[in-house]
Amino acid sequence: MGLSIDGLISGQDTTTLINNLIAVEAIPQTLLKGKVTAAQAYTTAVQGLNTQVAALADAATKASKPASYDLYTATSSSGQVTATTSTGAAAGVIDVTVGRLAQNQVTVTGPLSAWPDATLTLTDATGKATVLTPASTSLDDVVSAVNAAGLGITATKVAVGADGFRVQFSSTATGSAAAFTVSGGTVPTTQVKGAQDAQVTLWAGSAAEQTITSGTNTFTNLLPGLDVTVNAVSATPVTLTVTRDDAAISKMAGGLVSGLNDIFAVITNRSAVSTTTDSTGKSVTTAGLFAGDSTIRTVKQNLLSAASMPVDGRSPSEIGISITKSGTLEFDAEKFAAALAKDPAGVMKTVQEISGRVATAAATASDKYDGTLTATITSQQSQVRTMGLEISDWDLRLTAKRSSLERVYTAMESRLGELKAQSSWLTSQINSLPDTYTGSSS
């Protein structure tokens, strides 16, 4: 903290004087701080662009794989039967008749007040028997023993009025494989609902009629990549249709173009030069962070070329991907859909090729180890660190300079104080001298 020496003797505002001198000395540091601020703003902008380009690289890599176009959608002629597609689906149509739904088994005992036996035995569909020994003949203990056994069977005590209670045993899964029996000596049981598989019939009524069962109400891969879930028995066949999902393929191609245009928009906005007027009416020109940046310009050109160059001698504009006058891309969904309907294999191959080229260009720019944008970010961060050290050195230098100036001005004030004291002493001495009388003779 500086010394307060303002005007002790001289009457000068030495603090302001020192501050002004330090401000002049600090001009190089101030300029350096401005460079740091600019470098940090530029680095942040490049990092944001790099994130976008890296995301594009991932999306384009996915779009370049043939499996990404293995897109199909399924429809059903009945709301009681739903169909979904997964990997490996192919176009096709099939009729199914739902004969029955899957269900779990439910068995109940006769009315009880307590379990009449020391044990009970549960036997699964494979014939495996498990003997349980409850803690007591209490129905609550019997229920607890069954539920803790982990056999895929749950037990519940049900109040039935004056008759006391019944114990209900239920399989947790549906299907015939979940069937079980309960035996416990003298305990009577009744099967309320039997375990059964769901069943559908293909080509019903023909010589090729085929029945298929499932332990659940879902039939997996009924056709390749087609899962069917039944919710009700049907008296008439339900038609399931699998078709290529052209809308999804079009969305993927359009998304690639949109991702490129988003990047181009950022580069264009940050490369723009604007002119404003300051408070004095003078025009001030401000260049965007990316203005004149050859690295950024190269990234944009590489991406644009990757998306617009011909594939097997044919322009991407033939399938609805074209360059605009402003240097961006345009996706014509209707033209793409028409081309896809006419030549699906050719269109998908073209999009895969374009996606692969875009993925390569984007990865070259954004690779986390040697991408051109990554290298730019690393270089800028290194420069900011170096300038930060220089700024810290300037802080030390300016602190030392301030201390030196304060000592100089303190010494000046002290010397002035001594001189003033001497002046006051001399003045007092002179004033103390006797008056000299000069007379004349008569």
Question: In DSSP terms, which residues pair with 284 in a beta bridge?
Answer: 276
pLDDT in tens, 120-163: 999 999 999 999 999 999 999 999 999 999 999 999 999 999 88
pLDDT in tens, 175-185: 999 999 998 77
DSSP label of 314: B
Token pair belonging to 435:
């008056």
Burial grade of 209 (CB within 10 A; 0-12, 13-18, 19 or more):
exposed
Q: What distance in Å separates the CA atoms of residue 419 and residue 46, rounded to the nearest whole number? A: 64
Place of tokens 């303190």: 410
Q: What is the rounded average pLDDT of the residues 78-106?
A: 94
Q: What distance in Å separates the CA atoms of residue 365 and residue 305, rounded to the nearest whole number? A: 14
The torsion of the CA quartet 94, 100, 103, 106, rounded to 10 degrees, works out to -170
Give the DSSP H or E segment for 338: helix 333-342
Greater confidence (169 vs 185) lies with 169
Q: To the nearest whole number, what is the mean pLDDT of the chain?
A: 89
Rounded to 5 degrees, φ, ψ at 223 are: -115, 160
Q: What is the rounded average pLDDT of the residues 348-354?
A: 95
Place of tokens 């944009």: 300
Q: What distance in Å separates the CA atoms of residue 57 and residue 349, rounded to the nearest whole number? A: 18
Q: What is the rounded average pLDDT of the residues 300-313?
A: 95
Question: In DSSP terms, which residues pair with 96 in a beta bridge?
Answer: 202, 238
Residue 417: band (very low, low, confident or very high) from pLDDT cuts 50, 70, 90:
low
Residue 347 has pLDDT above 90, yes or no: yes
Q: Distances in Å between the alpha carbon of 134 and those of 115, 148, 168?
A: 9, 10, 16
Q: What distance in Å separates the CA atoms of residue 249 and residue 349, rounded to the nearest whole number? A: 12
Q: What is the rounded average pLDDT of the residues 189-218?
A: 96
Q: What distance in Å separates the CA atoms of residue 105 and residue 339, rounded to the nearest whole number? A: 54
Residue 391: band (very low, low, confident or very high) from pLDDT cuts 50, 70, 90:
confident
β-strands 218-223, 226-230 pairing: antiparallel
Q: What distance in Å separates the CA atoms of residue 399 and residue 388, rounded to the nearest whole number? A: 17
Greater confidence (26 vs 201) lies with 201
> pTM of the full predicted structure?
0.67
pLDDT at 37: 86
CB 298 within 8 A of CB 361: no
Token pair belonging to 52:
């976008």
Give the DSSP H or E segment for 23: helix 14-25
Residue 423: band (very low, low, confident or very high) from pLDDT cuts 50, 70, 90:
confident
pLDDT at 211: 96
Q: What is the rounded average pLDDT of the residues 48-69?
A: 93
Residue 425 has pLDDT above 80, yes or no: no
pLDDT at 1: 44
Q: What is the rounded average pLDDT of the residues 372-382?
A: 92
b/e burial code for range 405-414 (CB count within 10 A of at least 16 → b):
bbeebeebbe
Of 82-96, 267-281, 322-336, 354-368, the one with minimum mean pLDDT is 267-281
CB 282 within 8 A of CB 129: no
CB 240 within 8 A of CB 97: no
CB atoms within 10 A of CB 150: 8
Q: Distances in Å between the alpha carbon of 264 and those of 173, 296, 302, 353, 355?
A: 55, 10, 11, 21, 17
pLDDT at 442: 44
pLDDT at 288: 83
pLDDT at 12: 65
| 333-342 and 246-271 helices, crossing angle to 10° | 140
* Residues written for the chain: 442
Q: What is the rounded average pLDDT of the residues 22-34?
A: 81
Q: What is the rounded average pLDDT of the residues 231-249?
A: 94
DSSP label of 436: P
**Runs of H (alpha helix) within 109-245:** 139-148
Greater confidence (440 vs 342) lies with 342
